[in-house]
Amino acid sequence: MSNASAKKKPKVVIIGAGFGGLWAARTLANQPIDVTVVDRNNYHTFLALLYQVAAAELDAEDIAYPVRSVFWKIPNVQFLLAHARRIDRQNHRIETDIVTLDYDYLIIGTGSVTSTFDIPGVAEHAYFLKTLEEAVALKNHIICCFEAASRETEADKRKALLTFVIVGGGATGVEYSGALAELISGPMVKDYPSIDFSEVTITLLEAAQSLVAPMPDNIRNYTVRQLSDMGVCVYLNKAVAEVTKEKVILKDGETILTNTVVWTAGVRGENLPADSDIPVGRDGRVSVRTSLQIVNDERIYVIGDLAAIQEDQRVLPMVAQVAIQSGVKAAQNIVHQIAGQAPEPFHYADRGSMIAIGRKAAGVAIGKRTFKAFIAWMMWLIIHLFNLIGFRNRVMVLTNWAWDYLLYERAVRFVFPSKMPSGSRVRSCADNAEGKR
Amino acid sequence: MSNASAKKKPKVVIIGAGFGGLWAARTLANQPIDVTVVDRNNYHTFLALLYQVAAAELDAEDIAYPVRSVFWKIPNVQFLLAHARRIDRQNHRIETDIVTLDYDYLIIGTGSVTSTFDIPGVAEHAYFLKTLEEAVALKNHIICCFEAASRETEADKRKALLTFVIVGGGATGVEYSGALAELISGPMVKDYPSIDFSEVTITLLEAAQSLVAPMPDNIRNYTVRQLSDMGVCVYLNKAVAEVTKEKVILKDGETILTNTVVWTAGVRGENLPADSDIPVGRDGRVSVRTSLQIVNDERIYVIGDLAAIQEDQRVLPMVAQVAIQSGVKAAQNIVHQIAGQAPEPFHYADRGSMIAIGRKAAGVAIGKRTFKAFIAWMMWLIIHLFNLIGFRNRVMVLTNWAWDYLLYERAVRFVFPSKMPSGSRVRSCADNAEGKR
């Protein structure tokens, strides 16, 4: 480092206030470094529980945490509510929609977005489940389908309103299918006495030959059995060819009439800011060195979902633990670089994985051990509560869960028109039930 | 009643699921009457705590309750999520945006809306505080003002961002001024270390000569003193002439530079459905007989804020207790009419009134007795908790209050872009801080 830069504190910019970005910032706390965290939202979202917001189980506010509060006691970390638009690598600058920031080191942890694989109609007609806004829009739509079905006299239209198709048998698809089944068999049955609930169908479509593929065999089988017991029709080896306003067409020619397609079948890395000249793979993820630096720039680290981190002949999965651990390591490596030392390689400590199917039904895999049903569900509850940021959010989530699990009630079944995405033309519930667009 | 109608159950339609409508429906529970409650929202809103949503103290969901849940155990009450568009009094029919309903008796309890008194710029530039959507939009705007101020270098612009003007010294204006002062002096100070908080001004303007006019003298004086202690500048006898995007102009020529005008100065009866031929006063309220029937139709009752109920030479105020009691009486009178008896006159039992200024600061008047400060605040807390519908909502509100009052924290300071009113052009926080439109 030059003499000039030795005099002033090095500047680290972190783009993204997800798990990776927050843990990177915390790791740099109280160091002689100026840290700026940039995010488009002023809150951190606990994405693992997003499907419960879409199933009217939790409030949007329960799984969000104000970013500025995280840094109340960390004076060297600033927060900037802005959208990073362009990276100028030559001059070590980031242009946002508000100001331009200089950086000495940059950590990019902007995460992942839904991938439609360019399948026709998915972007226009399917509901996504990757952001708080999407979760709230999906919840509103589900309730509006029941409102519309309760007064629909044409049998075909009513059937389409009461048919819910979830595409993608990964964790999100499985967890949402289960949560939706419980929402419908519990409070919806009580809310809509005029609806014949034998007309309701929940279908989970998976293009591959098994659900929750990375899980051990016994948990995969348990998952299918459990979902079937809850009334979810699970179809494997079924790929989607097209989605329209009132149906989904499968590659084998089969057609399902439905107003609700929930697309959880694909994720890709979030688009990078423009002109960054950072090489990106076909899935939008950035190849990184073992140190988490990008291949062509030692000052730039990529972490979390956005990073394609190779380890033991595999690319690490897009999960919170990888984000947290890579965020910490990237920050530590920047501290090394500032001290004139070499960055160290990242090694992922796999803490296991878990899936919640429903009330008292979950699967947990830790190393070679697996747990199922009630004990796994308790582990799931405790670990998710523990990982929520903020004591208040924990109390709120616990209250909502207790309410839901003990009383089979869902407290948050509101259709707030104002929660609709601003650009959407959907205003009334009558419109909304007809579909996304 | 004719023989034909004696055979089938009489139909009662209730428009509005506020306190009046819900209590009317409950009064008709398990009678041989078909009751349909119509509302544009599928939730009931506890309006008394709306200002706390706008002050980031409560979630929108905490003060909303799903209407269908209220009627789970009342089989003769149906709910219809619809907008009543037209009343056909000749044929006893109501047209909604979805279906047409026949009625034998009709109760209208659609409440009140903000009145701008046609003062220029109020509708375009001032924030209102009468619906959940408006409360959330106002909260988002306040947070965005601080975000923008934290990086605004022009002194005048920064001052306008940090000047908050509340117009109207009634209960809503007073309660919001106090809640905003506490929001700013607590969490905002911690969130924005770069802001000089001596630049922040909260101004409460009242056109008349005292705040909370219906309250006894000692509580009115206490309110002014308390607000001043909390840093709110209270100006009496100050009427607004015009509101623009960046200032408010008073009738005496004075001008205040501000991006935030909160308009709580006027309310009027909600617009009636079209063609109803129901006579309406200048304030939009409907004159009713002592029985709560309208003057020109014995089958139609008007209750709550919408009704101008005369008693002891005064018109009853727009408060929850009048709505509840008039809703119950209207329902009882319909039962009398069905039984061939005469409707009875309504008498309001005044249970007193209360105002909360802030933490440990409230005023309560019951008959000739008054209470102030901590004891009044405890009464206020208990009565508001008790009147919230739903045990879960009570737990949530209590948790948020405990959080706020014990830890001086506000948990719900999020700017969800999706909560912006759909029609609004506001998309980013940068736009939002500039004003409502």
Q: What is the mean pLDDT of residues A175-187?
A: 94
With contacts defined as CB-CB under 8 Å, which chain A residues touch B60?
Answer: 416
Asked whether residue B433 carries a pLDDT value surpassing 90, the answer given is no
Determine if residue A253 is left, alpha or beta; phi over 0 gives left, psi from -120 to 50 gives alpha, anything else beta. Answer: left
Distance of CA B34 to the CA centre of its chain: 29
How far, in Å, CA of B184 to CA of B201, rounded?
A: 10
Same domain, A136 and A279: no
Provide DSSP, B236-304: SS--EEEE-SSEEEETTS-EEE-SEEEE-S-EEEPPPPBT----B-TTSPEEB-TTSEETTEEEEEE-G
Residue B353 resides in a domain: no
How far, in Å, CA of A402 to CA of A274, rounded?
A: 46
pLDDT tens track for A105-163: 999 999 999 999 999 999 999 999 999 999 999 999 999 999 999 989 999 999 999 99
Q: What is the mean pLDDT of residues A35-45?
A: 94
With contacts defined as CB-CB under 8 Å, which chain B residues touch A390?
Answer: 411
Looking at residue B3, its pLDDT comes to: 47
The last residue of a domain, from among A306, A338, A370: A338
Looking at residue B410, its pLDDT comes to: 59
Paired strand residues for B242: B249
Same domain, A164 and A183: yes
Residue B221 resides in a domain: yes
Q: Using 50, 70 and 90 to split pLDDT, how confident is the model at B341?
A: very high
> Residue B94: CB partners within 8 Å, gap ≥ 6?
B13, B15, B38, B84, B86, B87, B88, B100, B101, B103, B106, B273
Between helix A391-407 and helix B391-407 the angle, nearest 10°, is 170
Q: What is the mean pLDDT of residues A348-362?
A: 90
Residues 347-406 of A with CB under 8 A from B: 390, 392-393, 395-396, 399-400, 403
In this predicted complex, what is the ipTM? 0.80
Looking at residue A384, its pLDDT comes to: 85
Interface contact B428-A83, CB threshold 8 A: yes
Same domain, B236 and B307: no
Residue B50 resides in a domain: no
Asked whether residue B362 carries a pLDDT value surpassing 50, the answer given is yes
Query: Taking Cα atoms as reference points, which of A228, A368, A344 lies closest to residue A291?
Result: A344
Q: Using 50, 70 and 90 to split pLDDT, how confident is the model at A421?
A: very low
Provide DSSP, A94-119: EEESS-EEE-SEEEE---EEE--TT-
Residues 70-99 of A with CB under 8 A from B: 72, 75, 78, 80-81, 83, 97-99
Residue B130 resides in a domain: yes
* Number of CB atoms found within 10 A of residue B407's CB: 13
**Facing A399 at nearest CB: one of B191, B395, B428:** B395
Same domain, B173 and B259: yes
Which residue of A lies nearest to B97 if distances are taken between CA atoms?
A430
Look up the CATH number of the domain holding residue B172. 3.50.50.100
Same domain, A174 and A239: yes
Residue A70 resides in a domain: no
pLDDT tens track for A197-246: 999 999 999 999 999 988 999 999 999 999 999 999 999 999 999 999 99
* Residue A110 lies in domain: 3-40+82-114+268-338
pLDDT tens track for B9-68: 999 999 999 999 999 999 999 999 999 999 999 999 999 899 999 999 888 888 888 899
Same domain, B183 and B252: yes
How far, in Å, CA of A50 to CA of A362, rounded?
A: 17
With contacts defined as CB-CB under 8 Å, which chain B residues touch A190?
Answer: 68-69, 72
H-helix or E-strand spanning residue B387: helix B373-387
Q: Using 50, 70 and 90 to split pLDDT, how confident is the model at B108?
A: very high
Asked whether residue A418 carries a pLDDT value surpassing 90, the answer given is no
Q: Using 50, 70 and 90 to split pLDDT, how confident is the model at B384?
A: confident
Work out the minimum CA distance from A331 to partner chain B, whole angstroms.
Answer: 23
Residue A41, chain B, CB below 8 Å: the answer is yes
Q: What is the mean pLDDT of residues B377-385?
A: 86
Looking at residue B360, its pLDDT comes to: 86
> Residue B366: CB partners within 8 Å, gap ≥ 6?
B351, B352
B58 phi/psi in degrees, rounded to 5: -125, 155
**Facing A399 at nearest CB: one of B75, B132, B399:** B399
Structure-derived torsion over alpha carbons of residues A25, A28, A32, A37, reported in degrees to the nearest 10? -10
Residue B68 resides in a domain: no
Same domain, A259 and A376: yes
Interface contact B191-A61, CB threshold 8 A: no
With contacts defined as CB-CB under 8 Å, which chain A residues touch B400?
Answer: 392
Asked whether residue B302 carries a pLDDT value surpassing 60, the answer given is yes
Residue A245 resides in a domain: yes
pLDDT tens track for B171-209: 999 999 999 999 999 889 989 999 999 999 999 999 999
Q: What is the mean pLDDT of residues B59-86?
A: 90
**Facing A429 at nearest CB: one of B81, B413, B424:** B81
Same domain, A106 and A163: no
How far, in Å, CA of A317 to CA of A328, rounded?
A: 17
Structure-derived torsion over alpha carbons of residues A10, A16, A20, A22, reported in degrees to the nearest 10? 70
Count of domains forming chain B: 2
Look up the CATH number of the domain holding residue B99. 3.50.50.60
Rounded mean pLDDT of chain B? 89
Q: Minimum mean pLDDT among A3-17, A203-217, B308-322, B340-354: which range?
A: A3-17
Looking at residue A436, its pLDDT comes to: 63
Q: Rank A217-221, A330-334, A428-432, B212-216 by mean pLDDT and report only the highest.
A: A330-334
Same domain, B224 and B293: no
Same domain, B245 and B372: yes
Q: Using 50, 70 and 90 to split pLDDT, how confident is the model at A434?
A: low
SS3 B131: coil
Work out the minimum CA distance from A302 to partner chain B, whole angstroms.
Answer: 26
The last residue of a domain, from among B338, B370, B386: B338
Q: What is the mean pLDDT of residues A326-338?
A: 97
Q: In this structure, what token pair is assigned to residue A341?
A: 């030392």
Looking at residue A404, its pLDDT comes to: 67
How far, in Å, CA of B52 to CA of B176, rounded?
A: 7
Amino acid at B167: V
Q: Using 50, 70 and 90 to split pLDDT, how confident is the model at B391?
A: low
Looking at residue A31, its pLDDT comes to: 94
CA distance between the termini of chain A? 54
How far, in Å, CA of B80 to CA of B36, rounded?
A: 7
How far, in Å, CA of A177 to CA of A136, rounded?
A: 16
Looking at residue A360, its pLDDT comes to: 86
Among all chains, which residue has been given the structure tokens 């139909």? B11
With contacts defined as CB-CB under 8 Å, which chain B residues touch A66?
Answer: 191, 411, 413-414
How far, in Å, CA of A214 to CA of A318, rounded?
A: 12
Paired strand residues for A294: A288, A297
Who has greater pLDDT, A253 or B276?
A253
Looking at residue B413, its pLDDT comes to: 63
Same domain, B369 and B241: yes
With contacts defined as CB-CB under 8 Å, which chain A residues touch B42?
Answer: 143, 147, 413-415, 429
With contacts defined as CB-CB under 8 Å, which chain B residues touch A68?
Answer: 190-192, 413
Q: Using 50, 70 and 90 to split pLDDT, how confident is the model at B427?
A: very low
Q: Minimum mean pLDDT among A56-60, A109-113, A252-256, A385-389: which range?
A: A385-389
Q: What is the mean pLDDT of residues A312-322?
A: 92
Paired strand residues for B232: B202
Looking at residue B426, its pLDDT comes to: 33
Same domain, A379 and A245: yes
Interface contact A68-B151, CB threshold 8 A: no
Q: What is the mean pLDDT of residues A56-68?
A: 87
Looking at residue B207, its pLDDT comes to: 95
Residue B418, chain A, CB below 8 Å: the answer is yes
Burial B117-154 (b: 16+ CB within 10 A, else e): eebebbeebbbbbbbbbbbbbbbbbbbbbbbbbbebee
Residue B409 resides in a domain: yes
Asked whether residue B333 carries a pLDDT value surpassing 90, the answer given is yes
Q: Using 50, 70 and 90 to split pLDDT, how confident is the model at B431?
A: low
Q: Using 50, 70 and 90 to split pLDDT, how confident is the model at A409?
A: low
Active-site annotation holds for B206: no
Interface contact A42-B413, CB threshold 8 A: yes
| Annotated catalytic residue within B57, B134, B152, B175 | B175
Who has greater pLDDT, B232 or A64?
B232
Looking at residue A424, its pLDDT comes to: 33
Work out the minimum CA distance from A398 to partner chain B, whole angstroms.
Answer: 11
Which residue of B lies nearest to A407 if distances are taken between CA atoms?
B392
